[in-house]
Amino acid sequence: MNDLILIINAGSSSIKFSLFAQTSADPELLYKGQVEGIYVDPQFSAKNAAGDKLADEKLPADSPRSHDYALRYLLDWVNGHTDGRKLAVIGHRVVHGGFNFTQPVRIDAQVLAELDKTVSLAPLHAPANIGPMKALASLLPDVPQVACFDTAFHRTQPEINQLYALPVELAEREGIRRWGFHGLSYEYIASVLPQIDQRAANGRTVVCHLGNGASMAALDQGKCVLTTMGFTALEGLPMGTRTGSLDPAIVLHLMTHLKMTTAEIETLLYKESGLLGLSGVSSDMRELHASKEPRARMAVEYFANRIVQQVGSLAASIQGLDALVFTAGIGENDDELRALVCNALRWLGVDIDESVNAKRSGEPRRISRADSKVAVYVVPTNEELMIARHALRCIAA
């Protein structure tokens, strides 16, 4: 089993990649990297599985500023590091699967045509997700490609949890429902919970995916019952630069009283709000913890407070709580935030061991005391591995 699996995660201004080797067990990570700043000052970087830097270079100054060129540049580097092995499959992270895609699917012309119809549901992400699929179909026509969807995991939510209180005909026609995102991360957590805690895997667990983009989900026996993100990745928790949930009449106020345009409001909601807007300092939790500005501390506490509120709501949706899981960049690395959240949940039966919580580790670990009614874990997520697993299963089928 010497074949390779290439994972592509394309955004509006970057393309991230991971290269895995197929093994008799889980796929094994070999390299990962990205081309970022594609339309401004494109930079390519790559590391091996141990984190050693192998490349950090600007793309040629006279090169096209495009996703297609960035993809070709990335492929050239990958082709130079295959050691004679061949690509067995390419897996893609796709933000939105719409109504039709509830599980990974092998990409063909019909799938691409259906994916084009989802652009209106995710205009910031879908074109960037779909473009590399079309380019790779031309560049590597003999290599199968598989699309994996961030919305798919949340389609197990009861219908009542997917709806908004809008006229049904309008909502159905426009695809306006609570889709949820970060699904591949939640799916990975659900896949490893049985090895960590059978009670959590078989019971009621709230997972906190906390990063620059942040969301939470309530799982019952590993299936999603409710998640905080909705029609877009703007709803729910405040994030690095995104507002999270807010009274929709605020948008009307901005339009009618401040005469803000749609583009100005979009910039405000997505790029100037959240932790950055609250603090006036930074969107980075590490910088907020280090800052002496009162607003920086307020932003941290606001973020923690919203998480606590959502834990209560999510626990209600699954009628109790057996386990709480922290994952993603902030969830895995910010022991101070975890303590703020967990100490505010003592009423629910959460009791963490502060010394264990403060320790750093790249492995899954329990941070709650042995007698805590609710078990609390830190579990590193791995969306790329989840995509690699799906890609292999898809082509095997």
Q: Is 328 exposed, middle or buried (0-12, 13-18, 19+ CB in 10 A)?
A: buried
Q: Report the chain's terminal Cα–Cα distance, integer Å.
A: 17
Is residue 20 within 8 Å of 144, Cβ to Cβ? no
B/e letters for 36-73, b = 16+ CB within 10 Å, e = fewer, are: bbbeeebbbebeeeeeeeeeeeebeeeeeeebebbbeb
Residue 80: CB atoms within 10 A of its CB come to 8
B/e letters for 253-285, b = 16+ CB within 10 Å, e = fewer, are: ebeeeeebeeeeeeebbbeebbbbbbbebbbbb
Any idea which residue has 């928790």 for tokens?
237
Is residue 80 within 8 Å of 33, Cβ to Cβ? no
Residue 121: CB atoms within 10 A of its CB come to 21
Residue 335: CB atoms within 10 A of its CB come to 18
Q: Which of 150, 197, 220, 335 is catalytic?
A: 150
Q: Is 173 exposed, middle or buried (0-12, 13-18, 19+ CB in 10 A)?
A: exposed
What's at 315, amino acid-wise? A
d(CA 98, CA 115): 8
Is residue 5 within 8 Å of 24, Cβ to Cβ? no
150 is catalytic: yes
- 214-220 and 204-210: which strand pairing? antiparallel
Is residue 364 within 8 Å of 378, Cβ to Cβ? yes
- The closest alpha carbon to 385, from 213, 217, 191, belongs to 191
Residues designated catalytic: 150
